[in-house]
Amino acid sequence: MTTATQTSRIAQLPPAVKAVTLPALLIVVWQIWAMTLPETSPAPAPAKVVQSFIELTASGDLVWSTLQSLGRVLAGFCVALVLGLSLGVLMGASRAVRENLDPIIESFRPIAPMAILPIAILWFGTGTPAALTIVAYAAFFPLLVNTVYGVSRVDRQLVRAAQTMGVNRLRTIATVIVPAAVPSVLLGSRLAMGVAWTAIIAAELAVGAKSGGGTSGGIGQMMFVFYAYSIDLNGIVVCMIVVGVIALMIDRLFRVAEHRLLPWRN
């Protein structure tokens, strides 16, 4: 009887209260647990994380590192965009190209971006170009696959209509096929930006780990320095939250773009 009334009472709570309950509980338990530890313990605590966030923001380190990482992601993404789109349109439009390239593409796809890092370091050293390579490699596959899909899905009747009216092949690609592929390309871009952001963190972390905290910077490197040198776990948690927030923002940005550019799809 009591349990029944209790559950109904819980059900009547406003959605916002329900949403906040568990995260709030988690933070409170975490803070209490941290307060039981001796003062010298490096364990992170919510209060210290907030303090660390304020300090890192005030000094400008956090903003600068984030911008550095974002810049690398954008540059790598642009490289992947150019390669993925051009190859994707070719593969989507021509069956011969698709059949011949597909085995090669598919054998590279299961190779994680991070597995390419040792090669990238051998080629470019432990600087920004190595990180860019990883990002471009990671972003390339979702862009390519979705472009191929978008292009091969184009309404054949439209292509035939264009051909009947004497439009040449190149112009058909530019005016019929590419616009029709835009929704898929946008989806591919969103997925690509997601993996690219993960890849840059991994690359910066690994470069930091392997070059002994070099000077290349970025938020991944910042995390590694906090781990290996200053043992600042609160700083690491701040970086993790920033990584999450940026990932969320990138995703939302592309979703908004999809809504704006393709209003008929909603």
The interface with another protein within residues 40-59 (CB under 8 A) comprises: 42, 44
Least Å distance, CB 227 to another protein, is 4
Is residue 253 at the binding interface for another protein, with CB under 8 A as the rule? no
Instruction: Locate 187 and state its tokens.
Output: 């989806």
Radius of gyration of the chain (CA): 24
Contact between 142 and 83 under an 8 Å Cβ cutoff? The reply is no
The interface with another protein within residues 136-165 (CB under 8 A) comprises: 142, 144-146, 148-149, 152-153, 155-157, 159-160
Least Å distance, CB 188 to another protein, is 9
Least Å distance, CB 155 to another protein, is 5
DSSP structure class, residue 39: T
Instruction: Locate 63 and state its tokens.
Output: 């903003």
Is residue 248 at the binding interface for another protein, with CB under 8 A as the rule? yes
Cα gap 201→199, rounded to integer Å? 5
Q: Which of 2, 15, 40, 165 contacts another protein by CB under 8 A? A: 15
Stretch of 29-37, 56-64, 66-74, 230-238 contacting another protein, by CB under 8 A: 230-238
Instruction: Locate 193 and state its tokens.
Output: 């930006």
Stretch of 59-67, 74-82, 165-173, 216-224 contacting another protein, by CB under 8 A: 216-224
- Token pair 């011949």 is at which residue? 100
Q: Which of 26, 35, 261, 262 contacts another protein by CB under 8 A? A: 26
Cα gap 86→149, rounded to integer Å? 13
Stretch of 46-54, 62-70, 72-80, 93-101 contacting another protein, by CB under 8 A: 93-101
**Which residues 6+ apart lie within 8 Å of 137 measured at CB?**
80, 113, 116, 199
